[in-house]
Amino acid sequence: MQKPSETNIDGMRSWIWRKIDITLPDTWEMLRFAADEDEGSCGFADETGFRFFLYWQRRKKQPDFDRDARRFLKRHLPGGQVIEAPVNGWFGWEEKDETRTIRQFAKHFPTEGLVLTAVFRTPPRKPLPEQSILASIAPREPAADNQIPWKIRDFTCLVPADQPLHEGTFETGKTKLVFRANPKKEPVYTFQKWALVNEWMPARDLERWIKRQIPAAYKLTAIKRAEWQDHTYISLTASARHRWFPFRHHPKRYFEMVAWICPEDDCLYAASQQVFSPQGNWSQPMELPLQCCSRGPQISL
Q: What is the CATH number of the domain that holds 55?
A: 3.40.1000.10
Do residues 21 and 119 share a domain? yes
Domain stop point among 82, 110, 139: 139
Look up the domain containing 79 and give its range.
Answer: 12-139
70/169 same-domain check: no
Query: What average pLDDT does the segment 147-154 reach?
Result: 83
Rounded to an integer, what distance in angstroms lies between the CA atom of residue 119 and that of residue 140? 20
Q: Is there a domain that residue 277 lies in?
A: yes
Region 54-68 average pLDDT:
85
> Of 111, 139, 167, which residue is a domain's last?
139
Query: What does the pLDDT read at residue 244?
Result: 55
Domains of the chain: total? 2
**Residue that terminates a domain, selected from 139, 160, 189:** 139
| Confidence band of 95 (pLDDT split at 50, 70, 90) | confident
Whether residue 3 is predicted with pLDDT greater than 50 in this model: the reply is: no
pLDDT in tens, 245-293: 555 555 588 899 999 999 888 999 999 999 887 655 555 555 656 778 7
CA distance 267 to 260: 8
